[in-house]
Amino acid sequence: MAVMKVIEVLANSDKSWEDATQKAVKQASKSVKNIKSAFVQSQSVVVKDDDVTEFRVNLKITFEVN
Q: Using alpha carbons, select from 10, 15, 1 the residue that is nearest to residue 43.
A: 10
Structural domains in the chain plus CATH codes: 3-65 (3.30.1660.10)
Would you say 24 and 59 are in contact if contact means Cβ atoms under 8 Å apart?
A: yes
Task: Give residue-wise pLDDT tens across range 2-17.
Answer: 999 999 999 999 999 9
Q: What span, in angstroms and rounded, lies between the C-alpha atoms of 29 and 22?
A: 11
pLDDT tens digits for 10-49?
Answer: 999 999 999 999 999 999 999 999 999 999 999 999 999 9
* pTM given for the model: 0.88
